[in-house]
Chain A
Amino acid sequence: AQSVTQPDIHITVSEGASLELRCNYSYGATPYLFWYVQSPGQGLQLLLKYFSGDTLVQGIKGFEAEFKRSQSSFNLRKPSVHWSDAAEYFCAVGARVGYGNKLVFGAGTILRVKS
């Protein structure tokens, strides 16, 4: 069965510091991988996605993620964090179900940014 692990429940970084959020997945085939962000009281917004090809993908708000098949990882990075990045981040893998895909989510990582 497909699964996603986000090892860090909470992460605190200083504004301007770099950020890496970890994500490991389990999936038998080539995965579709996603990072979503959820601000308090809001829905989920897609940050970036990996389907195939270049293993380093760029997203919105200055985020990037690197797909490493050998490590079954899809870590999210940002070189310099802004206070507005404080939110909860979810990694997800797209799994085939019937004629379509469903998303299997990790438990999320809450990012706190200190000034």
Chain B
Amino acid sequence: NAGVTQTPKFRVLKTGQSMTLLCAQDMNHEYMYWYRQDPGMGLRLIHYSVGEGTTAKGEVPDGYNVSRLKKQNFLLGLESAAPSQTSVYFCASSYREGANIQYFGAGTRLSVL
């Protein structure tokens, strides 16, 4: 049972480059989320999706775009990376019903030079 899988695990970018982070879940969850984790700030929600084809902004959406073309996948894109986007990125997913317990991937560590 893979759960939530994030690729890649590590990436180094130069300022201005673009990249896409992939999140895949095999639990048939309706909801998916992207967070960033920075020291001393906990996790902050970037974007989330309540279903295939729908996305919405979280707390810190600037500089990121997302797409949910398939229920099991949630993509996070950086069009023009900036050093401020150096962070650890976590994807999570949950069912729609109930209190939405979220299950997390192992994270992607991104450095922007």
Query: Which label, helix, strand, loop or mixed, suits the secondary structure of the A interface?
Result: strand
Residue in A closest to B44 when the chains form the complex, CB atoms:
A105
Q: Which residues of B contact A99 (CB under 8 A)?
A: 50, 96
Show 26 residue pairs from A and B whose CB-CB distance is below 8 angstroms, ordered by the A residue.
Answer: A32-B99, A42-B106, A43-B104, A44-B90, A46-B101, A46-B102, A46-B103, A49-B99, A94-B99, A97-B48, A97-B56, A98-B56, A99-B50, A99-B96, A100-B50, A100-B94, A100-B96, A101-B94, A101-B100, A102-B58, A103-B102, A105-B43, A105-B44, A106-B42, A107-B41, A107-B42
- Enumerate chain A interface residues (CB-CB to B < 8 A): 4, 9, 32, 34, 36, 42-46, 49, 51, 90, 94, 97-103, 105-108
User: CB-defined interface of B33-77 with A at 8 Å, one 1/0 digit per residue?
Assistant: 100000011111100101000001010000000000000000000
Q: Which residues of B contact A34 (CB under 8 A)?
A: 101
Is the pair A94, B100 in contact by a Cβ cutoff of 8 Å? yes
Q: A4-B42, A44-B104 are in contact. List 20 more A-B contacts (CB 8 A).
A: A9-B40, A42-B106, A43-B90, A43-B105, A44-B90, A46-B102, A49-B101, A51-B98, A97-B48, A100-B94, A100-B96, A101-B94, A101-B99, A102-B33, A102-B58, A105-B43, A105-B44, A107-B42, A108-B40, A108-B42
